[in-house]
Structure 1
Amino acid sequence: MPKAKVHSGAAKRFKKSAGGYKRKSANKSHILTKMTTKRKRQLRGTSLVDASDKKAIDRMLRAN
C-alpha cells in the first residue's frame, strides 16, 4: 500500500496550531497600488480557519 500524500497546496496555506489551523488573509499578493493603506494594514496577520472548514483541511493534511 503506498503512503498517503498530503495535499501540497493545503500544506503551503495552513499551519496547525493549538486552536485549529492558522491562515493568512486573501488579496494581499499583487496589484496592491490601488488598495488603500488602511485596507492593506487590515489584511496583515493571521486568523483561524472556520470550524465548518476544519474537517476538509484535516483530510487534506492527513491529520488524525
Structure 2
Amino acid sequence: MPTKSTKKGKVKLKTNRGAMKRFKISANGKVRFRRANRNHINTKRTTKQMRHAKANGVLKECDVKSIYRMFCIE
C-alpha cells in the first residue's frame, strides 16, 4: 500500500462561507451588506421604512477587519 505523502508548508485557509453569502466587498474595499427585516410582515411598515430598508448598508470601519479575516484577506 502506498504511504501518505506529507506536504510541507502552510495550511490552506478556508473562507467563512456564511460570511461570503452575507457580505460583498466593493471595488473601493468597503464591505456592503443587506439590511434586515425585509422579508415578511411588511404590511404594517410604512413606505418610508421599506424605502430605507431597500438600500444596502456599508459596514463601519471597526467591523471591516473581522470580515476581511473571515474572507482570508489581509
* TM-score (structure 2 length as normaliser): 0.73
For 1:5, give the aligned amino acid: K
Unaligned runs of 5+ in 2: 1-9
- Indicate the residue corresponding to 2:5 in structure 1: none
Identical pairs, percent: 39
Alpha carbons 1:6, 1:62 under 8 Å: kept: yes
Runs of 4+, deviation exceeding 6 Å: none
Give CA deviations for 1:13-62 in whole Å, capped at 9, x if unaligned: 11111141111211112221221222101111212100110111011111
- Indicate the residue corresponding to 1:13 in structure 2: 22
Report how many residues are paired: 64
Greater relative contact order (Cα < 8 A, sep 6+)? 1
Greater strand content? 1
1:34 aligns with 2:44: yes
Unaligned runs of 5+ in 1: none
* TM-score (structure 1 length as normaliser): 0.82
- CA RMSD for the aligned pairs? 1.6
For 1:57, give the aligned amino acid: I
